Amino acid sequence: MRLLHYLRALRGIIVRELYRFVHQGGRFGAALVRPLVWLFIFAAGFRSTLGIAIIPPYETYILYEVYITPGLIGMIQLFNGMQSSLSMVYDREMGSMKTLLITPLPRWYLLTSKLVAGTLVSILQVYTFLAIAWLYQIQPPPIGYLTVLPALLLTGLMLGSLGLLLSSFIKQLENFAGVMNFVIFPMFFMSTALYPLWKIKESNELLYTLAEYNPFSQAVELIRFALYGQFNQYAFCYTLAALFGFLGLAIVGYNPSKGMMQRKGGA
């Protein structure tokens, strides 16, 4: 019976997230328009400027659009993770986070369930993006669409747990703008999403080191390899470790006796 309770709660949280996603049609549109603008405009413009050498997992010279597609998938998941974080801060201000936190199940389970629900939504967005990209002649091998799924699950969970962690520390909705400036943009631009590591190394050694240790870089690389049916072990381990680190801290952040909630005087 207890197991059934856990499963019902997980299903309930996922269904609610999907309902919210469907009801907020604008959110789906915005989530898709952002990477598509990058793909159709930015990448097209930079195609001639940036030459990409043959680097794994690619076996031939590739167009810049092809190179940045995994980065844009990562971008979708990064924004989705931050969007979940934003909605959690909003839920906390509006009080609906309370209804989740007073559920008679362990808090780590409730938070993880919320994370899984957010990740599933991000995966739906990613596959829609990949379908549009396919029409734009960005066509990874068919098996890649299958092998990328577990990678997306892991990267979505990792980026979502970062959002969860941030939401446990952000007191008010207004503070969220800071997250955009200090987390999303540096994470995205200081990564392998837009340019390969060796290119960054050529221009700036410090930036190269930061990009290499940026968990978002490893998430993008995991997606890049998985999309071509390959497994990048280092990126997998790094992303997994980042997931446990962020999630562990987020759970502490939401713990009533140890976390920030009571110090803030809000729940």
Partner 1 sequence: MTFVDSTALAVNDVSYAYGKKTALDRVSFVVRRGDCTILLGPNGAGKSTLFSLIIRLYDSPAGSILINGNDVRKKPSRALAEIGVVFQQSTLDLDLTVLQNLRYHASLHGVGGRLARARIREELQRQGMYERRHERVRQLNGGHRRRVEIARALLHQPSVLLLDEPTVGLDVPSRGAIVEYVHGLCMSEKIAVLWASHLIDEIYPSDRLIILHQGTIRAQGGVSDVLQATGAADIGDAFHILTREAM
- The letter for the amino acid at 249 is L
What distance in Å separates the CA atoms of residue 91 and residue 76, rounded to the nearest whole number? 22
CB of 80 to partner 1, least distance (A): 18
- The letter for the amino acid at 252 is V
Residue number with CB closer to partner 1 (102 or 143): 102
Radius of gyration, alpha carbons of the chain: 19
CB of 172 to partner 1, least distance (A): 15
Residue number with CB closer to partner 1 (98 or 172): 98
Task: Give the H or E element holding residue 58.
Answer: none
Residue number with CB closer to partner 1 (19 or 182): 19
Residue number with CB closer to partner 1 (175 or 262): 262
Cα–Cα distance list, 226 to 146, 155, 213, 245 (Å): 9, 11, 20, 23
**Among the residues of the chain, which ranges form H helices?**
2-23, 25-37, 43-46, 64-94, 96-101, 107-135, 142-169, 176-179, 185-189, 197-203, 205-213, 215-227, 233-254, 261-264
CB of 214 to partner 1, least distance (A): 35
Query: Where along the sequence are the contacts to partner 1 (CB under 8 A)?
Result: 1, 4-5, 8-9, 11-13, 15-16, 19-20, 23-24, 94-96, 98-106, 256-257, 261-262, 265, 267
CB of 20 to partner 1, least distance (A): 6
CB of 116 to partner 1, least distance (A): 14
Residue number with CB closer to partner 1 (98 or 182): 98
Q: What is the full DSSP assignment across 176-245?
A: HHHHIIIIIHHHHHTSTTTS-HHHHHHH-HHHHHHHHH-HHHHHHHHHHHHHTT---HHHHHHHHHHHHH
Residue number with CB closer to partner 1 (102 or 146): 102
Residue number with CB closer to partner 1 (142 or 265): 265
CB of 106 to partner 1, least distance (A): 7
CB of 254 to partner 1, least distance (A): 10
CA-angle at 164, arms to 197 and 254, nearest 5°? 140
